Amino acid sequence: MQLQDKIALVTGAGRGMGRAISLRLAEAGANVAVSDIDAANAEDTTVAVKQLGRESIALPADMGNLDDIDRMVRQAKDTFGRIDIVVNNAGITKYLDIMDVQESDWDMIHRVNAKGVFFCMQRAARELIDQGHGGRIINIASIAGKGYAGTSNAAYAASKGAVISMTHIAALQLGKYDINVNAICPGSTLTAMAAETMAGRAQVTGQSLQEMEANRDARIPIGRPNEPEDIAAMAEFLAGPGGRNITGQAFNVDGGLVMH
């Protein structure tokens, strides 16, 4: 219970990695504010957290909307009295060849993946600074932001590269407040969003899903994709005592796909 009675806010927590992170932090003792654009999914995760014996609240929010971000952070603080851990997980993508990316695709992806992450980090940091006892911010980036060739599209890769860069700068500027800021860069991970992206890629390339899954696994040195719980384990570590003196880093969790 290394996070006993800590307060965590997790975005995009209705499914996939965000849900796994919420449950892992709860298992470690944290109470969790669960945010997701899908109110029903947020409520499902909240129920699951409560079943682990922790307190939780569902906070529906569009992470591309600054008013929603402000309301989400304020409600989390008002409910629990403070915030200790923020996990910026919400993100979107779809499969697109570089020649098929439209302005609307770029704007849609960056609205959530870059703008949303930055302003959630900034808004949460204001609370952490005011509280005066430090805190942890964990941004979910991607190995796509480090040049992984198997990215879903160039706009997505650019948005995740932005997350990594913002993490570095935030760590530099928030360190004086004892706020640690790190990023996790997942590789291929078995989530609903990844399945939707793979289905789009299969449709474009004419390959079967079975062929694509076999090719995916063959490219991973360790031979298997991530489960969402693999990302959650790294988030728990960074949020806990082991992450006390780690900041400004972007950790790959990818089975060896990208080794830098």
| pLDDT reading at 6 higher than 90 | yes
Provide the token pair at 131. 């509280």
Rounded Cα–Cα distance for residues 166 and 61 (Å): 22
Q: Dig out the tokens for 38 from the structure.
A: 């899908």
pTM exceeds 0.75: yes
Q: Give me the pLDDT at residue 235, please.
A: 98
Active site residues per annotation: 156
- Alpha carbon distance 12, 63 (integer Å): 9
3-class DSSP state of 205:
helix
Per residue in 227-246, pLDDT (tens digit) is 999 999 999 999 999 999 99
The confidence score (pLDDT) of residue 67 equals 98
Percent of the chain with pLDDT over 90: 84
Helix axes 16-27, 39-51, angle to 10 degrees: 20
CA distance linking residue 233 with residue 238, whole number of Å = 9
Q: Which domains does the chain have, with CATH numbers?
A: 7-253 (3.40.50.720)
pLDDT for 176: 98
**pLDDT above 70 covers what percent of the chain?**
100
The mean pLDDT value for 185-199 works out to 87
Residue 201 has pLDDT above 80, yes or no: no
Counting Cβ atoms within 10 Å, is residue 100 exposed (0-12), middle (13-18) or buried (19+)? exposed
pLDDT over threshold 90, residue 146:
yes
8 Å CB contact between 49 and 18: no
